[in-house]
């Protein structure tokens, strides 16, 4: 992908699933990576797995904590000298009927997926504006930010919020040469979805793939990483304030 070699990339939620596949993809493209994650053990493991591919290091912390986000962003700048690309990817999800959602559960999902996204994006955007040489911020939304899947009201609301956060950032930051876009993956095979489907019927995933996804299969983390790489590259130089849907055709169904 054009223009990624030598880029300094911070990936929140880079220790597992889509974020880990994205770290791998950027390292393969010749970029330098700092990855974040909630658990120190998971971050260390991801860094050890990826180290043979290039320059990668990690920092653990909770993106819903302003202090942890300051440590993450300042640490990434100290390690790489600057940040050129933010992959704002950390997120959580679980199923819960709307009528049963507790205020605490609502707050946790919204504070990781929306407040966390805002905190990391703002800290990196301030750095990019101060440096004055542009940059790219990619925020992780979801097909659940575009449609109301049952049993995910808190998650859907958080991901819908990410879409408008991103559009507003694109409007305000464009004059600084900073492009801001969102990704909307559909059903992707990751540890997050394995944990969710472990509590469901054995044939849940195969029935879901058959009935909801025109390509008849779940997506792979590497297929979302490819979307991140494209939007961060010079090939996407006029794409700003948009969302890229990567869902095997799921949202095309009437
Ligand atoms: N898997 C899917 O089908 C799918 C679809 C659309 C969007 N997404 C989004 O993609 C992103 C990655 O999901 P995944 O499926 O790879 O999940 P995953 O559970 O495999 O990875 C989640 C990552 O986020 C980090 N994280 C979680 N809570 C955190 C916190 N409080 N502070 C810091 N880091 C935290 C984890 O440490 C991990 O690195 C999420 O934002 C998710 O909502 C996933």
How high is the pLDDT of residue 119?
99
How high is the pLDDT of residue 37?
98
The predicted model gives 158-166 an average pLDDT of: 99
8: nearest Cα among 36, 27, 28: 27
How high is the pLDDT of residue 242?
99
For 10-47, how does the pLDDT look when each residue is reduced to its tens digit (9 = 90+)? 999 999 999 999 999 999 999 999 999 999 999 999 99
Q: Is the dihedral of CA 172, 13, 44, 104 positive or negative?
A: positive
Identify the burial level of 163 via C-beta atoms within 10 angstroms of its C-beta, where 0-12 means exposed, 13-18 middle and 19 or more buried.
middle
For 109-136, how does the pLDDT look when each residue is reduced to its tens digit (9 = 90+)? 999 999 999 999 999 999 999 999 999 9
152 is annotated as an active-site residue: no
Distance CA 236, CA 43 (A): 29
How high is the pLDDT of residue 105?
98
Tokens 């990936």, located at residue: 11
- Ligand 1 centroid to Cα of residue 12, in Å, is 9
pLDDT band at 158 (very low <50, low <70, confident <90, very high): very high
Of the listed ranges 15-24, 86-95, 175-184, 199-208, the least confidently predicted one is 199-208
Q: Give the chain's mean pLDDT.
A: 98
210: number of Cβ within 10 Å:
11
The predicted model gives 170-180 an average pLDDT of: 99
- Ligand 1 centroid to Cα of residue 89, in Å, is 6
Q: Is the dihedral of CA 92, 243, 175, 14 positive or negative?
A: positive
How high is the pLDDT of residue 56?
99
The number of the ligand 1 atom at minimal distance from the alpha carbon of 12 is 34
Q: Mind listing the domains of the chain with CATH numbers?
A: 8-189+220-240 (3.40.50.720)
> Token pair for residue 212?
């909801």
The number of the ligand 1 atom at minimal distance from the alpha carbon of 219 is 3
Mark residue 216 as left, alpha or beta (left: phi above 0; alpha: psi -120 to 50; beta: remaining): left
- Ligand 1 centroid to Cα of residue 196, in Å, is 12
The number of the ligand 1 atom at minimal distance from the alpha carbon of 91 is 41
How high is the pLDDT of residue 120?
99
């Amino acid at each position: 992908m054009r223009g990624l070699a030598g880029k300094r990339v911070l990936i929140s939620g880079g220790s597992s699933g889509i974020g880990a596949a994205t770290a791998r993809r950027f390292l393969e493209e010749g970029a330098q990576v700092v990855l974040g994650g909630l658990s120190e053990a998971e971050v260390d493991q991801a860094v050890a797995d990826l180290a043979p591919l290039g320059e990668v290091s990690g920092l653990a912390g909770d993106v819903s904590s302003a202090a942890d986000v300051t440590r993450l962003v300042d640490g990434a700048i100290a390690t790489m000298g600057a940040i050129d690309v933010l992959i704002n990817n950390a997120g959580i999800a679980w199923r819960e009927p709307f009528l049963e959602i507790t205020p605490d559960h609502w707050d946790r999902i919204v504070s990781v997926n929306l407040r966390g996204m805002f905190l990391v994006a703002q800290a990196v955007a301030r750095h990019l504006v101060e440096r004055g040489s542009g940059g790219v911020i990619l925020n992780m939304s979801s097909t659940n930010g575009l449609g109301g899947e049952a049993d995910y009201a808190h998650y859907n609301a958080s991901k819908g919020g990410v879409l408008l956060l991103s559009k507003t950032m694109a409007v305000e930051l464009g004059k600084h040469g900073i492009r801001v876009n969102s990704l909307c993956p559909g059903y992707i095979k990751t540890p997050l979805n394995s944990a969710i489907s472990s509590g469901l019927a054995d044939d849940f995933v195969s029935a879901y793939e058959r009935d909801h996804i025109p390509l008849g299969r779940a997506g792979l983390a590497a297929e979302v990483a490819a979307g991140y790489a494209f939007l961060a590259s010079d090939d996407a130089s006029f794409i700003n304030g948009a969302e890229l849907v990567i869902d095997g055709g799921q949202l095309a169904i009437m």
